[in-house]
Amino acid sequence: MNHSSPSFAHDYAAPVAAKYRPLGWPIAENIGETNPDEIISLFTNTASKELGVVYTDFSKTMVDMADKMIELGIVTKPAAAQ
């Protein structure tokens, strides 16, 4: 059974920070610890995989989203960081 329960700071933000921090984007360096007592939702995608659905890696999805938001002008680099 495949389960997924992403942590915001570690799973959502880390791939975006890894790409954009070296490019001069002002991204916080401190990432909070994961709370082991946090209520977690677990999902299984076993049935869809059995039907042949192929999923994009989560890190790639997050970076693709950030790239598109920048491309569309939804997110812009602050003047001080340029």
Q: Does the global pTM surpass 0.85?
A: no
Residue among 39, 51, 43 at smallest CA distance from 1: 43
Residues 21-56: tens digit of each pLDDT: 999 999 887 777 767 676 666 778 899 999 999 999
Tell me whether residue 26 is in a domain: yes
**By the 8 A CB rule, do 81 and 43 touch?**
no
Length of the chain: 82
Tell me whether residue 2 is in a domain: no
Tell me whether residue 13 is in a domain: yes
Tell me whether residue 73 is in a domain: yes
What range does the domain containing 25 cover? 8-30+38-81
- pLDDT score recorded for residue 70: 97
How many domains does the structure of the chain reveal?
A: 1
pLDDT of 82 strictly over 70: no
